[in-house]
Structure 1
Amino acid sequence: MTDTEKLRNIIKEKGLKLKYVANYLGLSEYGFALKIGNKKEFKAGEITMLCELLGITKLSDKEAIFFKK
């Protein structure tokens, strides 16, 4: 389960728009909204791309955002 609040905050801190992030991942805005809202899961490749785009390098940070219990 994705920690939506943390992910949205990081995107906002980086000055990015959700539409830009969706396009970067090759997703529609709706498809990205489903994933960020925990209706669908992010694929491993999408998580990797998001981490690169957002500068998330620490494994503990990745786990806290994308694998929240």
Structure 2
Amino acid sequence: MTDTFELEKIIRQRGLTKKEVAFKIGLSEQGFLLKLNNQNEFKASEIQSICNLLKCSRDIFFKDTVN
């Protein structure tokens, strides 16, 4: 389960919007938001792209419980 709070925090810290991240990894804004909010799952390739873009750990995509 994706740690939405942490991922949104990292996106803001990098000076990007969720819409920009979605575009850069090849998703629609709506598709990205569904995955960000754990309604759909990110593909491995999307996780890799996000981690490369944001310079973050993959750990935020594999939380057992999320606040």
Q: Would you identify which runs of 4 or more consecutive aligned residues in structure 1 move more than 2 Å? A: none
3-state secondary structure, aligned to 2:12: helix
Matches within 5 A, 1:1-69: 1-56=1-56, 61-63=57-59, 65-69=60-64
Q: Number of residues paired by the alignment?
A: 64
TM-score relative to the length of structure 1? 0.89
5+ residue gaps, structure 2: none
Higher helix share: 1
TM-score relative to the length of structure 2? 0.91
5+ residue gaps, structure 1: none
Q: Calculate the aligned-residue CA RMSD, in Å.
A: 0.7
Q: Aligned residues: percent identity?
A: 53
